[in-house]
C-alpha cells in the first residue's frame, strides 16, 4: 500500500512499520487463508467419503434384496469400510493434517503477526479498503459503526 491512511476504524498499522513489512505479512496471511480453505476441503472430503460409504452400504442391502447378493458381497468386501489411504480413514487424514501442517502454519502465521504487527490481523487489507472506498458513500463505510 502506498501510505499509512490513519483512517478511523481502518488504522491497524503499528507505528513505525514499513510498507514492505505490511505487504510481506499480508502475503503470509494470504497463504494461511489458502491453507484454511484446504482444511475446509479436507473436511468436505471427509464428510462426502463417509456419506458415500454409508450410501454404498445401503446400496448393498438393496442389491441383496433385489437378488444380486454376489455383487453386494463384493462391494461390501472391497469397498464398504475401506481405508482411503494406507491404514487411514478420512478422519485420520484430517486429524493428522490438523495436528501437523495446519497447526504449524497457524502458529507461525500468528508468530509473524505478533512479532511484526503487534498481533493485528488484516493490516494490508484494512489499508486497501481505506484506499479503495469512497468516503461518504453508502456501502463504503469504514466500519459497521459508520453505517447510518
Q: What does the alpha-carbon distance between residue 104 and residue 99 come to, in Å, rounded to a whole number?
A: 8
| pLDDT at residue 19 is higher than 90 | yes
Q: Which tens digits make up the pLDDT trace of 101-127?
A: 999 999 999 999 999 999 999 999 999
Cβ 61 vs Cβ 72: under 8 Å: yes
Taking the complete model, does pTM exceed 0.85, yes or no? no
Assign 143 a pLDDT band (cuts: 50, 70, 90). Answer: confident
Q: Residue 83's pLDDT is what?
A: 97
Average pLDDT over residues 34-39: 98
Write the DSSP symbol of residue 144: G
Assign 1 a pLDDT band (cuts: 50, 70, 90). Answer: very low
Domain ranges, ordered by start, for the chain: 19-128
Q: What does the alpha-carbon distance between residue 108 and residue 143 come to, in Å, rounded to a whole number?
A: 29
Cβ 148 vs Cβ 16: under 8 Å: no
Q: Residue 2's pLDDT is what?
A: 39
Q: What does the alpha-carbon distance between residue 8 and residue 3 come to, in Å, rounded to a whole number?
A: 15
Average pLDDT over residues 128-137: 90
Helix then strand then coil, in percent of the chain rounded to 5, is: 65, 0, 30
In terms of phi and psi (left: phi > 0; alpha: psi -120 to 50; beta: otherwise), the region of 147 is beta
Q: Residue 145's pLDDT is what?
A: 84
DSSP string, 25-79: HHHHHHHHHHHHHHHHHHHHHHHHHHHHHHHHHHHHHHHHHTT-HHHHHHHHHHT
| pLDDT at residue 78 is higher than 70 | yes
| pLDDT at residue 58 is higher than 70 | yes
| pLDDT at residue 62 is higher than 50 | yes
Cβ 10 vs Cβ 127: under 8 Å: yes
Amino acid at each position: 500500500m502506498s501510505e499509512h491512511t490513519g483512517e478511523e476504524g481502518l488504522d491497524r498499522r503499528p507505528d513505525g512499520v514499513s510498507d514492505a513489512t505490511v505487504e510481506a505479512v499480508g502475503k503470509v496471511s494470504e497463504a494461511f487463508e489458502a491453507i484454511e480453505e484446504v482444511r475446509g476441503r479436507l473436511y468436505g472430503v471427509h464428510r462426502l467419503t463417509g456419506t458415500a460409504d454409508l450410501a454404498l452400504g445401503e446400496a448393498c442391502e438393496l442389491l441383496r434384496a433385489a437378488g444380486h447378493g454376489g455383487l453386494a458381497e463384493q462391494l461390501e468386501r472391497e469397498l464398504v469400510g475401506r481405508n482411503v489411504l494406507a491404514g487411514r480413514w478420512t478422519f485420520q487424514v484430517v486429524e493428522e493434517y490438523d495436528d501437523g501442517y495446519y497447526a504449524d502454519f497457524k502458529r507461525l502465521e500468528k508468530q509473524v503477526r505478533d512479532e511484526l504487527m503487534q498481533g493485528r490481523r488484516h493490516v494490508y487489507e484494512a489499508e486497501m479498503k481505506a484506499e479503495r472506498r469512497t468516503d461518504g458513500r453508502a456501502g463504503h463505510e469504514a466500519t459497521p459503526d459508520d453505517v447510518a
